[in-house]
Amino acid sequence: MRHRTTQVGAIQTFYREAGADDAPVLLLPHGYPGSSFVYRHLLAALGDRWRLIAPDLPGFGYSATPAPEEFGYTFDAYADFLYDFVNTLELNRYAIWLHDYGSQFGLRLAMREPDRVACLIIQNGDIYEDEFGPKYDGLRELWANPGAESRRGIAAHVSLEGFRDEFAGELPDHVADRIPPDLWTLHWSLMGTPERMANLVRLLEDQPSTLPWFERQQAYLREHQPPTLIVWGPHDGYMPEGSARAYHRDLPDAELHLFDGGHWLLETHLDEVAPVVRDFLNRVHPPSRRGAPGPDPV
Query: Among the residues of 1-57, which ranges form H helices?
Result: 40-46
Give Cα separations from 3 to 183, 247, 278, 282 (angstroms).
Answer: 18, 34, 23, 26
- How many other β-carbons are positioned within 10 Å of the β-carbon of residue 72? 18
- Is pLDDT above 70 for 297? no
Q: Is residue 106 within 8 Å of residue 91, measured between CB atoms?
A: no
Give Cα separations from 135 to 28, 84, 150 (angstroms).
Answer: 25, 33, 16
| Mean of pLDDT over the chain | 95
Q: Is residue 28 within 8 Å of residue 62, measured between CB atoms?
A: no
Q: What is the dihedral of CA 93, 99, 101, 103, to 10 degrees?
A: 40
Give the pLDDT score at 192. 84
270/195 Cα distance (integer angstroms):
34
pLDDT tens digits for range 99-138: 999 999 999 999 999 999 999 999 999 999 999 999 999 9
- Is pLDDT above 50 for 291? no
137/129 Cα distance (integer angstroms):
12
Q: Which helix H or strand E contains 61, and what residues bound it? A: none
46/121 Cα distance (integer angstroms):
14
pLDDT tens digits for range 200-229: 999 999 999 999 999 999 999 999 999 999
Return phi, psi of residue 9, to 5°. Answer: 65, -125
Burial class (CB in 10 A: 0-12, 13-18, 19+), 231: buried
Give the pLDDT score at 14. 98
Please give the model's pTM, rounded to 2 decimal places: 0.95
Class of domain 2-284 as given by CATH = alpha beta
pLDDT band at 10; cut points 50, 70, 90: very high
- Lowest average pLDDT, out of 109-123, 131-145, 241-255, 264-278, goes to 131-145
Give Cα separations from 27 to 103, 118, 212, 260 (angstroms).
Answer: 11, 11, 25, 25
- In the DSSP assignment, the letter for residue 293 is -
46/165 Cα distance (integer angstroms):
29
pLDDT tens digits for range 147-191: 999 999 999 999 999 999 999 999 999 999 999 999 999 999 999
228/287 Cα distance (integer angstroms):
18
Sequence length of the chain is: 298
pLDDT band at 289; cut points 50, 70, 90: low
